[in-house]
Amino acid sequence: MALQSDDFTAKLMDDMDSRLLDFIKNKVNSFIKWDLVRFFYENPNTTDSVENIAKYAGRNTAAVQSELEELVESGVMEMQLVEGLPVYSLASDEEMRQLIEKFILACEDRHFRVKAVYHIIRGMR
Amino acid sequence: MQQRVKTGIKGLDEMLHGGFLPQTANLIEGATGTGKTTLGMQFIYNGITQYDEPGLIITFEEFPQQYYRDAAAFGWDFKKLEQEGKLKIIMTSPEVTKLDLERVGGMIETLVAEMGARRILVDSLSHFERLSSDPVELRAIEYSFINALKREGLTSVLTRENPALLGGTESDSENIAFVVDSYILMRYVEIESAIHKALLVLKLRGSDHAKDIRQYEITSQGIQVQAKFEGQEGIMSGSPRRMAESFVEAFVKK
């Protein structure tokens, strides 16, 4: 008998680390966020305005703005006002940095990536 | 004897009569590929590993991961130095850096205090040009920026692009040249159908320096400044001519 879609999802979720699953479902729940997290992981001391971060990511400012704000809300990134200008950087919290590293390293595995993509697409519906 | 901030680059410290002066701004100008960033990275790396002086790199264009890769090609492990708290490579923009340095307790000020940073590479100063199209205002911005770096006790290397690959300079460096404490020019030179690289210290405020034009190479260990060009004139024009034999006899071959 074919698996129902929810059963299939449950199966996909089963063998994923619960912290990573939560990270994907609640923090990096879009492809733009995924790109941003990867960018900041590879360039960890980047500190800049949304306009410049959008340029670094090769995306438009409007698309990046809301994603950055959500990453700040979820604790992945930090925002500070520099003379009134909002400036974003990766969270300095060591636990969060370790979780980001765990996610990026896990993404090197194709099967993990496929699962992560599945969860993101499902979450976007 | 004056205290010096050694670059640790073979031949360059000799040209600078020992190195840069402490808490000064030092401009390195050259065309793309001449090795400005390599020289700056070497200044930072040698500072950390040879002179126990932690450093910062501020990049306005190249991603930090590019620095990690480029440095690794010379055997310089920048990631490890970052983990040890001796180096930070910060990607940001001139506008954010300017605002950050103007406020109390900004990111750079905090990092300098936490790391004990003594050196900084700013790559590149050319990006400040987007802050103002008015040359007078731009000079004021750059002057303020340089003074803020000095205030933090940093000896800085500032790179600057020169669009001219060969031949006469197309740079409008006159303004910034007045503001910085030293001014080093890196150029391509064509000699007998081959491209060489030439380096000249144009200015070193408060100190004497070598006036000759030296060849340099980017080796697997970084930049190495070599002997001066012999028997050539018009080096900085990009297309030198061989000097008259009698002139060589009289002034060079001693």
Higher pLDDT among residues B228 and B54, named by residue: B54
CA distances from A26 to A20, A21, A31, A54, A71 (A): 10, 8, 13, 22, 10
Q: Does A123 touch chain B (CB under 8 A)?
A: no
Residue position matching structure tokens 């800049």: A48
Report the chain A residue with the minimal C-alpha distance to residue B103: A83
Q: What is the pLDDT of residue B108?
A: 94
Does B65 sit within 8 Å of A52, measured CB to CB? no
CA dist., res. B181 & res. B145, Å (int): 14
Q: Out of B63, B103, B107, name the one closest to residue A47 (CB).
A: B107
Q: What is the pLDDT of residue B191?
A: 83
Q: Tell me the backbone φ, ψ of residue B120, rounded to 5 degrees.
A: -145, 140
Residue B177 has pLDDT above 50, yes or no: yes
CA distance, residue B241 to nearest chain A CA (Å): 45
Can you state the angle between helices A5-14 and A110-124, rounded to 10 degrees? 140
User: Best of B60, B66, B91 to disrupt the A interface by mutation (most A CBs within 10 Å)?
Assistant: B91
Please give the model's pTM, rounded to 2 decimal places: 0.86
Q: What is the pLDDT of residue B251?
A: 44
CA distance, residue B101 to nearest chain A CA (Å): 10
Tell me: the pLDDT tens digits for B143-152? 999 999 999 9
Going by pLDDT thresholds of 50, 70 and 90, the confidence category of residue B174 is: low
Does A45 sit within 8 Å of B96, measured CB to CB? no
Q: What is the pLDDT of residue B56?
A: 98
Report A:37-96 residues touching B (Cβ under 8 A). 42-49, 52, 56, 82-83, 85, 87
CA dist., res. B132 & res. B130, Å (int): 6
Higher pLDDT among residues A4 and B157, named by residue: B157
Residue B47 has pLDDT above 90, yes or no: yes
Percent of chain B with pLDDT over 70: 86
Does A42 sit within 8 Å of B63, measured CB to CB? yes
Tell me: the pLDDT tens digits for B51-97? 999 999 999 999 999 999 999 999 999 999 999 999 999 999 999 99
Tell me: the pLDDT tens digits for B90-130? 999 999 999 999 999 999 999 999 999 999 999 999 999 88
Q: What is the pLDDT of residue A10?
A: 62
Does B96 sit within 8 Å of A49, measured CB to CB? yes
CA dist., res. B157 & res. B179, Å (int): 13
Going by pLDDT thresholds of 50, 70 and 90, the confidence category of residue B172 is: low
Does B96 sit within 8 Å of A85, measured CB to CB? yes
Report the chain A residue with the minimal C-alpha distance to residue B89: A45
Sort out which chain A residues have CB atoms less than 8 A from B63's CB and list them. 42-43, 56
Does B65 sit within 8 Å of A47, measured CB to CB? no
Going by pLDDT thresholds of 50, 70 and 90, the confidence category of residue B232 is: low
Q: What is the pLDDT of residue A122?
A: 83
Going by pLDDT thresholds of 50, 70 and 90, the confidence category of residue B163 is: confident
CA dist., res. B78 & res. B167, Å (int): 35
Residue B253: Cβ-neighbour burial (10 angstroms; 0-12, 13-18, 19+): exposed
Q: What is the pLDDT of residue B230?
A: 73
Does B102 sit within 8 Å of A42, measured CB to CB? no
Residue B50: Cβ-neighbour burial (10 angstroms; 0-12, 13-18, 19+): exposed
Does the predicted interface ipTM exceed a cut of 0.85?
no
Which residue type sits at A67?
E
All residues at 6 or more sequence positions from B74 whose CB lies less than 8 Å from its CB, including other chains = B38, B41, B42, B45, B220, B221, B222
Give the tokens for residue B238.
């990009």
CA distances from A119 to A4, B92, B109 (A): 16, 32, 42
Residue position matching structure tokens 């380096």: B199
CA distance, residue B60 to nearest chain A CA (Å): 10
Q: What is the pLDDT of residue A7?
A: 63
Specify the CATH architecture of the domain A30-119.
Answer: Orthogonal Bundle (1.10)
Q: What is the pLDDT of residue B210?
A: 94
Does B63 sit within 8 Å of A43, measured CB to CB? yes
User: Best of A45, A46, A48, A104 to disrupt the B interface by mutation (most B CBs within 10 Å)?
Assistant: A45
Give the tokens for residue B221.
């260990």
Instruction: Tell me the domains of chain B and their CATH numbers.
Output: 12-228 (3.40.50.300)
Dihedral of alpha carbons B183, B187, B189, B194, sign: positive
> Which among A38, A42, A36 is positioned nearest to A88, based on CA atoms?
A36
Ordered alpha helix ranges (H), B116-243:
135-151, 174-179
Residue B224 has pLDDT above 70, yes or no: yes
Residue B250 has pLDDT above 50, yes or no: no
Does A83 sit within 8 Å of B102, measured CB to CB? yes
Does B91 sit within 8 Å of A46, measured CB to CB? yes
Q: Tell me the backbone φ, ψ of residue A13, rounded to 5 degrees.
A: -75, -30
Q: List the pLDDT tens digit at each of the 125 positions of chain A.
A: 455 655 666 665 567 888 999 999 999 999 999 999 999 999 999 999 999 999 999 999 999 999 999 999 999 999 999 999 999 999 999 999 999 999 999 999 998 999 889 888 887 76
